[in-house]
Amino acid sequence: MKALEGIKILDFTHVQSGPTCTQLLAWLGADVIKVERPGIGDITRGQLVDIPDVDSLYFTMLNSNKRSITLDTKNETGKEILIRLIKSCDVLVENFAPGALDRMGFPWERIQELNPRMIYASVKGFGPGPYEDCKVYENVAQCTGGAASTTGFDDGPPLVTGAQIGDSGTGLNLAFGIVAALFQRVTSGRGQRVQAAMQDGVLNLARVKLRDQQRLAHGPLTEYPVNTDVDETPRAGNASGGGQPGWAVRTKGGGPNDYIYVIIQPPGWAYYMELCGRPELIDDPEWSTPAARLPKLDECFKIIEEWTLTKTKLEVMDILNARDIPCGPILSMKEIANEPALRNTGTVVEVDHPTRGKYLTVGMPVKLSDSEAKVQSSPLLGEHTEEILLDVLGLSKEEVNAAWKSGALGEPAAKAID
Ligand code: CAO
């Protein structure tokens, strides 16, 4: 028995933010029914294609463990089927452009009328306000949520990060909101509206930078490389966001990812200086305290780098961790793909896809002891159309055939079941 077994999700999501949410719910055991436009489907099926006529990795890595039904919700029969799906499911999740579901004829008021227990969950770029009608993609959210203005080096432009904090981050927030709403429904008996804005999701993750904006009123941010004459949280380069100074230093190899992130905490200083062959700096009052080191962190990291350049990043990792000194080798995606520990825990999983063959994906990031997340293939477009109409809605074979003929499920009369 999985955590969300018995819960049916009507999944109107596309691209990344919504699909990442419903994929998490599927891994928790929910039956996720992905509704896609006949003949087209989720636009990502055909984006960044690496193998012709095969669903892209973009799609397969965000839609595992789901079932797919093709349904034209602007067709009259399609609308009737959608009404039956709304009545049969527990949660409707969507991340269309603002107002799209209303335009289809299904505003929240109508959904509530059709199924008062329905939880209606949405991702939008912005919450209510001047930008509520805007379409939004990942990097727009990173820029408007405060991440880009605080990422990068002080003498360079704002930078977006490779981590999809706007899309996958907001999908995670939405999943958490849905699970809470399902829990509340147990006692209230009612569904509710769950809304997650991508700007809010990014800002939630950039919280420490709003902290620093307020600290500026009381003096310079001394842990930032550039901290004078600024009235907005500056970009910190690789400086640590916490109270401990840190930096990415080079290691042996000279490759683009031959770096390790080191952190100088007071208890580690003496060991660093022993390793670096500079024991005289251990007790020197010019170097021995965090306050003495603060104005010359550049020099501190240069001394440490002279030593790290003699070792590989993984050797440095072993040496420092043997003394409980936290550090982070910069792992490339190639290294992560081949990391045995991540394979063993199911964080990196090999999946077999009917037309693609084997590929790697990222599995469930949270592990539940009583609800193991087994990653399965993503569905082909419309793979489960008939199965869903028969099993979930209890339609007769004649009704399914009539639906095909109406064009609601795709090419009319292209299909008929026995
Ligand atoms: N049957 C019939 N019509 C369907 C359908 C179906 N099964 N599924 C979708 N459609 C229609 C929608 O109703 C909509 O039609 P209208 O424009 O007439 O209302 C249309 O398809 C496309 O929807 P869209 O406007 O959401 O798609 P888009 O490609 O233009 O925009 C995006 C994409 C992501 C910018 C927009 O959906 C958005 O801003 N979403 C909210 C924020 C978000 O999640 N962004 C993250 C995206 S990942 O980086």
Question: Which atom of ligand 1 is closest in space to residue 100's alpha carbon?
Answer: 19
DSSP character string of 245-276: -EEEEE-TT-STT-EEEEE--GGGHHHHHHHT
- pLDDT, position 414: 54
Express each pLDDT in 72-124 by its tens digit.
999 999 999 999 999 999 999 999 999 999 999 999 999 999 999 999 999 99
Q: So which residues are the catalytic ones?
A: 167
Q: Which amino acid residue places its CA nearest to atom 36 of ligand 1?
A: 97
Mean pLDDT for 298-317 is 98
Express each pLDDT in 327-339 by its tens digit.
999 999 999 999 9
Out of 135, 172, 381, mutate this one to test ligand 1's pocket (max ligand atoms within 8 Å of CB): namely 135
Identify the residues whose C-beta falls under 6 Å from ligand 1.
15-18, 35, 37, 43, 71-74, 95-97, 100, 103-104, 123-125, 135-138, 167
- pLDDT, position 229: 84
Q: How confident is the model at residue 20 (pLDDT cuts 50, 70, 90)?
A: very high
Express each pLDDT in 126-164 by its tens digit.
999 999 999 999 999 999 999 999 999 999 999 999 999
- Please, what is the average pLDDT of the chain? 96
Say if residue 250 is exposed, middle or buried (CB neighbours under 10 Å; 0-12, 13-18, 19+): middle
Largest CA distance in the chain: 88
- pLDDT, position 240: 79
Q: How confident is the model at residue 417 (pLDDT cuts 50, 70, 90)?
A: low
Question: Which atom of ligand 1 is closest in space to residue 36's alpha carbon?
Answer: 7
Out of 11, 63, 96, mutate this one to test ligand 1's pocket (max ligand atoms within 8 Å of CB): namely 96
- pLDDT, position 411: 83
Name the E strands within 334-378. Answer: 348-353, 357-362
| Residue 235 scores a pLDDT above 90 | yes
| Residue 412 scores a pLDDT above 70 | no
Q: Which amino acid residue places its CA nearest to atom 19 of ligand 1?
A: 100
Sheet containing strand 8-12, edge to edge, reads 66-70, 31-36, 8-12, 91-94, 119-124, 193-197
Distances (CA, A) of 137 to 26, 141, 167, 191: 24, 7, 8, 28
| Residue 241 scores a pLDDT above 80 | no
| Residue 416 scores a pLDDT above 70 | no
Measure 100 CA to ligand 1 centroid, in angstroms. 7
Going along the chain from its start, the domains and CATH numbers come out as 8-204+339-406 (3.40.50.10540), 238-250+259-329 (3.30.1540.10)
Query: What distance in Å separates the CA atoms of residue 245 and residue 239, rounded to the nearest whole number?
Result: 7
**Exposure pattern of 200-217 as b/e (b: 16+ CB <10 Å)?**
bbbbebbeebeebeeebe
Measure 15 CA to ligand 1 centroid, in angstroms. 9
Mean pLDDT for 291-309 is 95
